[in-house]
Amino acid sequence: MRTYCIKISSWTSSFRYPNLISGIQPTLEVPPVSTVMGLINAASGRYLESRKIELGYYFDFKIKTIDLETIYQIKSNEKNYPDNVVKSNVLQREFLYDCQLFLFLVDEELVSYFRKPAYQLLLGRSCDLAGIESIKRIELQEVGHARFAGQVVPFNSNFLPGQIQALPKYFSNTIPRKNIGTEPYSVISCNNPVDTQLTGFRSDLEEFNSDIYFHKFEI
């Protein structure tokens, strides 16, 4: 299969657990599909809709550690407006260091957005700035009994081991935003590869050793 590989790197990344808003803030070791879709939207400069998406990716990092972070909590009054009372709090937040994302796309229009991104690219939060290192046209070979690492794979019908999390594919273009296409995924870290009975795609890139699972959906 002919595709494009976009290599994106960042010093830090953080992908928070859904619905976890208090206490220590852990990070997933792989970005959800919705985060990758957010990158594509940022590069294009608009909210993409009414199109079929086909993408695969591999993500790795060197270290996971914890930092202390000061947050400011603003209380709302009876009318649900912000009050003048601001309270500071210190929490522990996990983050990933020295990160790389290899994004595989077959749609040339989507690839063209990354040649001159409209907005800054983020691998997680607003402080996790990312940059594009290269864009290559490559061939992927379809293989059986694929070995996956550094990516998420839908749990339903595949039943792969790993950390199981309910994650969205996308978010709506409304305020507040709504989850779209939430389903359980096996979160397979780059440090814990999984041998499977599934079909995957293999590249000749020497920068990582994993087959690629392609996500196909319509938005």
Encode pLDDT of 57-83 as tens digits: 999 999 999 999 888 878 777 777 777
Residue-wise pLDDT tens digits, 37-64: 999 999 999 999 878 899 999 999 999 9
| CATH number, residue 123 | 3.30.70
Q: Give the domain extent around 181.
A: 2-218
Non-local CB neighbours of 196 within 8 Å, separated by 6+ positions: 145, 146, 147, 148, 153, 158, 160
Q: Give the number of domains in the chain.
A: 1
| 179-189 mean pLDDT | 95
| Alpha carbons 121 and 128: distance in angstroms, whole number | 8
